Structure 1
Amino acid sequence: MMSLLLQAAATGESRGLLMQLFPFILIIVVFYFFMIRPQVKRQKELKKYRDNLKKGDKVVTTGGIYGKVTEVKENYVIVEIANNVNIKVDKAGIIMDMTDAVRK
């Protein structure tokens, strides 16, 4: 009889603890689906975009410079920003292509 009472008390305490932790678990799940997961998806898309850059693509740098890719190397690209004016930009400095910039 005593062991049944102890088991009932133990399960009641574990339910109480679970109910106390439930709001925190819910907050973590909401953060994951509304903040973390979309950000990871955007980062993957941007990495894929940067890896697929090719000569002639129109791009925008993180500094807001619009230009056209004239040469692609492993870690950087050469961007023409005016006639005969070329700059070397790290691939991480490319944020989007010009068609996305015009739409937004």
Structure 2
Amino acid sequence: MSIEIAGAAGGAGGSSIWSLLLPFVLMFAVFYFLLIRPQQKKSKTRNSMLSALKKNDKIVTIGGLHGTIVEITDDTVVLRVNDVTKLTFDRSAISHVSSSSEESASA
């Protein structure tokens, strides 16, 4: 008789561990789908945009400066702001591409 009681108590203890872990598992799932996964997707699209930059793309920097890419290296980008002024920026300082050289060639 005492064996059955000990077995029943062990089964109840096992289910209480899962009932304690379930909220933490659910919180991790919520954080993953609401915070981690969208940030990873945003980072992936930004990295693909930065790697696809090419000469004559019209871009906007994170500071709001509009310019056209004149030279591009692995780390830096030289922008033509007007006919005379050329500025050098880090590649990571580019916010987005306003129009690519392919779009301007077809227009």
* Residue of structure 2 equivalent to 1:93: 93
Task: Verify: 1:71 aligned to 2:78, yes or no.
Answer: no
Partners in 1 of 2:25 and 2:49 — Cα distance?
35
Q: Where does residue 29 of structure 1 map in the other structure?
A: 29
**How far did 1:81 drift?**
1.7
Distance 1:19 1:9 in 2: 15
- Match of 1:66, as an amino acid? H
* Partner-residue secondary structure (3-state), 1:36: helix
- Partner letter of residue 30 of structure 1? V
Which stretches in structure 1 are left out of the alignment for 5+ residues? 100-104
How many residue pairs match? The answer is 99
1:41-56 alignment, distance < 5 Å: 41-56=41-56
Q: TM-score normalised to the size of structure 2?
A: 0.83
Q: Give a deviation string over 1:42-94, Cα, whole Å, max 9, x none.
A: 10111111111001111111112111111111111111122221111111111
Moved over 3 A (4+): none
Q: Give the superposition deviation at 1:4.
A: 3.0
Unpaired runs of at least 5, structure 2: 100-107
Equivalent-residue separation in structure 1 for 2:64 and 2:81 (angstroms): 11
Alpha-carbon deviation of 1:7? 2.5
SS at match of 2:81: strand
TM-score (norm 1): 0.85
% identical equivalent positions: 31
Name the SS of the counterpart of 2:78 in structure 1.
Answer: strand
| RMSD of Structure 2 on Structure 1 (CA) | 1.4
